[in-house]
Amino acid sequence: MKKYNVAILGATGAVGQEFLKLIEERNFPFAELRLLASSRSAGTEIPFMGKKYIVEEATSESFKDIDIALFAGGSISTEFAPYAVKAGAVVIDNSSAFRMDPEVPLVVPEVNPQAILKHKGIIANPNCSTIIMVMALKPIYDLAKIKRIIVSTYQAVSGAGKEGIDELTNQVKAYSEGKEMEAKILPSASLEKHYPIAFNLIPQIDIFLDNLYTKEEMKMVNETRKILEDYDIKITATTVRVPVYRSHSESVNVELESDLDLAAIKDAIAKFPGVQLQDDPQNQIYPMPIYTSDKNDVYVGRLRRDESAENSFNMWVVGDQIRKGAALNTLQIAETMIKNGWI
């Protein structure tokens, strides 16, 4: 098998570290591996697959001879993606910078792999919550047209990075010792006001827009439509940060244009690649974030009819947002390109 020169931008962060785990787990065919980060992290030594790699500071010259550039996300993407593309690399980016660009495909490989063919050097990885939801929606969408989606998310603190994880840990420790809980990160480090997440829920992820929805909520709306290539679907979202370390959970209500038997829906979900049906409520079997962390698949359960509306049902969807919601989906895009000879 041909091997490819791979660069990871943001190699020292949570998603970058997950890239490395998955490259090894999945035996990804790389020849050269170049680890890149900001000047702050440059010089860090990372042991990987029996070799020690030194993280380099990302520059305009960092992508020479690179075939595939995996970007972990953040504002740094917009600065370096053009350099990588100019050098001949295909950029697969985790930031939100390119997702709604009509020239950039937004891809979940199990859902819309054909979109990869439209790329002009950059492929966008969707928002983590969007990926988790569309993985559960696609097998249903293939059976009947979806008319409306109502989603509420319960998002882990790791979605805010290592700082969010550390803040939850520190707050739990402070609370247990009778000390004041310091809040510096959530709902967003860029905001003036912060709230504790330990023993709390914060109904804000990212900033509020003029329509009073957050950017995170509108990402789910707009990205879902783009991925499914269906701009007629009505979608409303409420995104909430919860005191969970890893794995996002979502309560999803779906209204179809025509009726479907619940058994047919369950069967389609169970057969869909990358999705596990975990739905036996009588025996208290349903997805939970503590059991889906570090897992590649998206888990679906609590399937039931919505008795308040026709052609509607509810489901509970859980997935590891660092794995399938970020690093794994990105790597799967690269694997799909290699498998089909698209690179």
Residue tagged active-site, from 138, 219, 246, 248: 248
Report whether 267 contacts 275 (CB < 8 A).
no
Q: Which two tokens stand for residue 182?
A: 């310091």
d(CA 218, CA 212): 10
The per-residue DSSP string of 228-248 comes to HT-TT-EEEEEEEE-S-SS-E
Q: Which SS3 state, helix, strand or coil, does residue 214 take?
A: strand
- For 193, residues 6+ apart whose C-beta sits below 8 A from its C-beta are none
- Active-site residue 128, yes or no? yes
Residue tagged active-site, from 15, 89, 123, 128: 128
Q: Which amino acid is at 127?
A: N
- φ and ψ at residue 294, rounded to 5 degrees: 65, 15
d(CA 90, CA 326): 17
Torsion sign (Cα): 254, 257, 262, 264: negative
- Active-site residue 119, yes or no? no
Q: What is the number of residues in the chain? A: 343
Residues with active-site annotation:
128, 248
